Amino acid sequence: MEFNGVFSEDHNNSALYDANKAYLRYCSSDGHMGNVGGDNASATFEGRYFRGQRIVRAMITYLIKNKGLGQNAGDLVVFGGYSAGARGAMAHLD
């Protein structure tokens, strides 16, 4: 994929051009905020389960275990998104 803005690898277009980046492509239709489903079926919306929170946690866990996220003191993580993904990023900025 070709990215623009802060995701660009061109030093003329992004201050983060040489940073490592992870892109979670698909929005979970709940802004990556839901954690409903399974035995909690009464809390579904029209029979749909929203588990976007689990998707984000799985990605962070993967990056920690497989890519060394957080291994170095002073590491900086910029976490954001587009559209509904940006709203989900705000919900996880803790």
At residue 66, the pLDDT reads 94
At residue 54, the pLDDT reads 83
At residue 45, the pLDDT reads 65
Q: pLDDT tens digits, residue range 16-34? A: 888 888 887 776 777 777 7
Listing DSSP states for 61-90 in one string gives: HHHHHHH-TT-STT-------STHHHHHHH
Cα distances (angstroms) measured from residue 31 to each of 68, 77, 87: 26, 20, 6
At residue 94, the pLDDT reads 65
User: Is residue 66 within 8 Å of residue 59, measured between CB atoms?
Assistant: no
User: Is residue 27 within 8 Å of residue 83, measured between CB atoms?
Assistant: yes
Domain range annotation of the chain: 26-92
Q: Which residues of the chain have pLDDT under 50?
A: none
